[in-house]
Chain A
């Protein structure tokens, strides 16, 4: 799995609430720390990604948010504007507003049009980099959540099947070549050891295989809780939380020690409740699993991003 960062294009998806953006940011940071020049792309989203580097919001033009990490916010309209400029050389500086509105309308109803503009831009950056015209060693995409990512990645094929002629159709071929090349592209899924995220991950991996040609990379299991006690330690913990031992413990540490014991019991129970979900994930997915521990931190800024990057680095053997 050490070669994950040697690809050129990493998509990261996951169910809402599992830490998809944090893991995406951490992968970019890790790659940059390995000496790569990374383009970090957020697609049609709320613009939270720069927060994870404690950097103000960014726009369509890539901005350095950390050494070696350049972030950009990709929107359909900005992609369309650039597409028209680059591909059709249509002079539409003054008219882009209403035209973009109409395209937004068509794109909402017509399959794949909206997605291909954004995925197309991502693929374009990759192709330009491979051919030496853009500076990125790696493009990392904070992609759509599990429910929508298939439509996003499969857009070129959808367009090829629906649109019979025209430049958009003609461009689907090279995009599909990039998206389906295991040496270039990998779709990665972030999950958490909980029921819904695990189910969605198993379903997504199956769907990605059945419905797209996009190669799968790794599953990142986020928020893994530590196992506090070994099996041998358990009776010791049980004994000190009861009877004469508890009385003695209260004398030594104060009566508030009861709450400390409650917390430890909760930590054990939280960990135990997640074990079956981890088992289900291991049984249901035949991809490399990268474990990221639950972070007991006060906030999710650059420090947390770095901790996740370190954990991923250790898992990748870097």
Chain B
């Protein structure tokens, strides 16, 4: 196990051998910055064309990467920005934000049989709701966009930050659910009465769906159901395109070129979720690249010798203050003030030591997860520029070495998949 910020070999090897690395974990653990730092480290240390796809970066980080205000298109982070942050690029760093609405609109335009149907779908208020509120729609569109970007063959490595979801696993099920949703018998069954009528609006309820319509009419009114059915009849024209895509997205997730990295802090709830996530990825036959522990207190804070030193400051500050006064340092002349500061220093350590001890205990309890592949220490500053990303990158991959493996130069010929 590595202590604090020492290089781990695992992630570098993973990045060198994969085309897609998906970062997942529960909300607030630092997924976005870890993904961005990984992409930066890959671009500066391994080379090649590296793309990071983020969902909702902090504004200052987006600014720093030149992502602010752009739409769905990926953009190259200028080398000057990387150099200004103290990085020497070997390859290219590209970044993209995920615009859910724009991605959905693209998808509809692509799969609708004609422009009129596309316009009808896009103008429907149920469509807006489906794409902005349907529980799985964010998850699905993220994976769909990833597939899109990967199939361009323009990137050696795509690092993905997953959307915040109530259940971090939802996005894995999203392609299947979308396929079920649009291909399901349920949808056909629901729209059947309207379809059979020939003209939309006329409804002939068959025996099987009769009880449902009796209840639904009483609850929602006939008109509302008809609106829904009409919308789905339009949507159904895109059925084969949608299901085909959902299957392809699913295959990319299962591909050996794709790996998942679970990010967590050493806190109870995120860690439980990370454990669940690791076992679930494995159970689904997906490749679990490893575990990244983020914002970890230095291990030295659990050292009994350090705790003993802190106790001297909290228990006997006056004696220590008197001793310090003999050094003749002007700022330490007032023993009362010095004793107060000494006590505060000791107390501050003791508070952080409680956190460090809790983290060490949780770490020792890790049973269902692989050994951490990298540990990123707690940094006081926010991650909002290339420099701070590079610092995280060093913890993730180790500092840049002259002998670091370098990818073949990026270029037009790099589109094909690397051999396994």
Known A-B contacts A110-B228, A195-B58, A229-B344; the reply to A16 vs B26 at CB < 8 A is yes
The residues of B that contact A237 with a CB separation of less than 8 Å are 341, 345
Contact assessment for A16 and B219 in the assembled complex, using a CB-CB cutoff below 8 Å: no
Known A-B contacts A249-B320, A260-B309, A272-B380; the reply to A267 vs B351 at CB < 8 A is yes
The residues of A that contact B330 with a CB separation of less than 8 Å are 239
The residues of A that contact B358 with a CB separation of less than 8 Å are 297-299
0/1 interface trace, chain B 291-333, chain A, CB 8 Å (1 if under): 0000000101101011011101100000110011011111110
Contact assessment for A260 and B345 in the assembled complex, using a CB-CB cutoff below 8 Å: yes
Least CB distance from B132 to A in Å reads: 8
A228 in complex: contacting residue of B218, B312, B328, B348, CB < 8 Å? B348
B211 in complex: contacting residue of A95, A228, A244, A262, CB < 8 Å? A95
0/1 interface trace, chain B 328-348, chain A, CB 8 Å (1 if under): 111110100110111011111
A248 in complex: contacting residue of B134, B166, B323, CB < 8 Å? B323
B212 adjacent to chain A (CB < 8 Å) = yes
Within 8 A of A (CB), among B22-42: 26-29
The residues of A that contact B319 with a CB separation of less than 8 Å are 252
Least CB distance from B204 to A in Å reads: 18
Of B186, B187, B220, B358, most A-chain CB atoms within 10 Å? B220
Contact assessment for A195 and B223 in the assembled complex, using a CB-CB cutoff below 8 Å: no
Kindly state the separation between the CA atoms of A273 and B224 in the bound complex, as whole angstroms.
52
0/1 interface trace, chain A 28-52, chain B, CB 8 Å (1 if under): 0000000000000000111010000
Instruction: Determine the main DSSP class of A at the interface with B.
Output: helix
Contact assessment for B215 and A169 in the assembled complex, using a CB-CB cutoff below 8 Å: no
Least CB distance from A225 to B in Å reads: 9
Of B125, B219, B330, most A-chain CB atoms within 10 Å? B219
Residue of B nearest to A108 (CB): B134
Number of chain B residues close to chain A: CB under 8 A: 89
Least CB distance from A29 to B in Å reads: 18
The residues of B that contact A99 with a CB separation of less than 8 Å are 211-212, 215
Contact assessment for B224 and A163 in the assembled complex, using a CB-CB cutoff below 8 Å: yes
The residues of B that contact A233 with a CB separation of less than 8 Å are 337, 340-341, 344
B117 adjacent to chain A (CB < 8 Å) = no
A105 in complex: contacting residue of B190, B354, B382, CB < 8 Å? B190
A8 adjacent to chain B (CB < 8 Å) = no
A270 in complex: contacting residue of B211, B337, B378, CB < 8 Å? B378
The residues of B that contact A298 with a CB separation of less than 8 Å are 354, 357-358, 361
Within 8 A of B (CB), among A175-208: 194-197, 199
Contact assessment for B29 and A17 in the assembled complex, using a CB-CB cutoff below 8 Å: yes
**Complex A-B, nearest 9 residue pairs according to Cβ-Cβ distance, in ascending order:** A17-B28, A16-B27, A269-B380, A239-B331, A165-B221, A166-B221, A263-B349, A111-B129, A253-B312
Beyond A144-B166, A145-B166, A226-B351, list 4 extra A-B contacts (CB 8 Å): A17-B28, A239-B331, A248-B323, A298-B358
